[in-house]
Amino acid sequence: MNSKTITVIGGGPVGGILTAHLCGRGHTVLLVDSWKEHIERMRAEGLRITGREARLVRPTHLHGSIRSLGETVPDFVFICTKACDLDSVLGEMSDRLKRSAAVFISFQNGIDTEQVIANQIERSRVLRGVVSYAGVLVGPGEIRESFFSPPNYLGWLDVEGADSCREAAALLSESGLATEATGEIGRYVWRKAILNTCTMAIAAVTGMNMQEMVQFPPTAQLVELLLSESLAVAAAYGFDYGPGFAESVREFNHHAGPHRPSMLVDLENGRKTENPFLVRRIAEYGEQKGVPAPLHRTMANLIDALEMRGFGVRKQACALDSP
């Protein structure tokens, strides 16, 4: 594949690992991140990826804000921020970029992130990704890749975007991040949301890590109840994952160890969470179909209350990457 110009917004684990793979394949990457120390370390020493697959790359186009991108129009724009940052990300983009031929890709957690982007950008130029790798931002300029369970999935919103979706999927695959293009991206978005929300909400409210919550009977029961609710809501929208899916979620949870879900980490650091696109979104979708999801609604309200109680959280930007 010919070299492409690609903008990656968000230099945390998702965006950083993506950048490393794209740079390694020879693409021109414009990486945007608001953490000054992170940008400065990458500029001086490169971006170091450790863990699953060690690599060091030296991105040459590093920006502290979207506005500093200037007049460059890339082939693809990957948005790798937390979903709660979408409004500010889109607000910083120039009208010229939004009206250009660039294809925008939501590489984020949560339900309906692509719809938020499509409110401002032509639907045929908006794609949705479901990321199957994860990592930890160890410090400025260094990301530890935890795992990659291929493939990633990439889907189009409008059939006119199918060709660009397949091109982007091929670009990612050739860069070492195996990705499948699909016309049924909603199925994979909901599957990941179900996996996230049944533990993420409990961690946010209780402060427990994954290991603690699945080993403590009262919270283990809550995990099961939340899982049942979300599966029922998904089924109402035509997403039936079969009898083996619930067991695979349980197995994943039991092998997660002392992992601390990002929603808990965000609350502890006084940042907004992705609650509106995850826990609350499932509650809202359930109510629209008449499928009871009282636990999701309750947990969503409690998370909002914890945010409000936090250290001025509603005045702060949320973390610049999805887990």
Half-sphere exposure of 105 (CA within 13 A, CB side): 34
Domain ranges of the chain: 5-183, 187-315
pLDDT band at 289 (very low <50, low <70, confident <90, very high): very high
Q: Which residue has the tokens 């082939």?
A: 75
Does residue 296 contact residue 282 with C-beta atoms inside 8 Å?
yes
Highest mean pLDDT among 67-76, 237-246, 311-320: 237-246
Please state the rounded mean pLDDT for residues 289-310.
94
Res 63: pLDDT: 96
CATH 3.90.1330.10 fits 5-183, yes or no: no
Q: 163-170: long-range contacts (C-beta < 8 A, 24 or more apart)?
A: 164/103, 164/125, 164/127, 165/127, 168/76, 168/103, 168/105, 168/127, 170/1
Task: Please state which of the ranges 5-9, 233-237, 254-258 shows the lowest mean pLDDT.
Answer: 254-258
Percent with pLDDT over 70 in the chain: 96
Of residues 311 and 132, more confidently modeled:
132
Tokens of 162: 């199918």
* pTM, 2 dp: 0.92
Q: In 3D, which of 134, 241, 230 has the Cα closest to residue 184?
A: 241
Q: How many CB atoms lie within 10 A of CB 118?
A: 19
CB neighbour class for 309 (10 Å; exposed up to 12, middle 13-18, buried from 19)? exposed
pLDDT digits (tens, 9 = 90+) for 163-180: 999 999 999 999 999 999
Please state the rounded mean pLDDT for residues 227-239.
97
Res 136: pLDDT: 87
Residues 6+ apart with CB under 8 A from 156: 124, 127, 128, 162, 164, 165, 181, 183, 185
- The C-alpha atoms of residue 78 and residue 97 are separated, in whole angstroms, by 13
Sheet containing 133-139, strands listed edge to edge, beginning at the edge strand earlier in sequence: 55-57, 47-51, 142-148, 133-139
pLDDT digits (tens, 9 = 90+) for 33-59: 999 999 999 999 999 999 888 899 999
CATH 3.40.50.720 fits 187-315, yes or no: no
Please state the rounded mean pLDDT for residues 123-136.
95
Strand-pair partners of 25: none
Total number of residues shown for the chain: 323
Residue 313 has pLDDT above 60, yes or no: no
Strand-pair partners of 47: 57
Task: Please state which of the ranges 113-117, 123-127, 152-156, 307-311 shows the lowest mean pLDDT.
Answer: 307-311
Average pLDDT, the chain: 93
Residue 322 has pLDDT above 60, yes or no: no
- The C-alpha atoms of residue 127 and residue 282 are separated, in whole angstroms, by 21
- The C-alpha atoms of residue 299 and residue 279 are separated, in whole angstroms, by 7
Does residue 262 contact residue 284 with C-beta atoms inside 8 Å?
no
Alpha carbon distances (Å) from 242 to 183, 191, 227, 306: 20, 11, 13, 35
- The C-alpha atoms of residue 185 and residue 168 are separated, in whole angstroms, by 14
pLDDT band at 273 (very low <50, low <70, confident <90, very high): very high
pLDDT digits (tens, 9 = 90+) for 84-127: 999 999 999 999 999 999 999 999 999 999 999 999 999 999 99
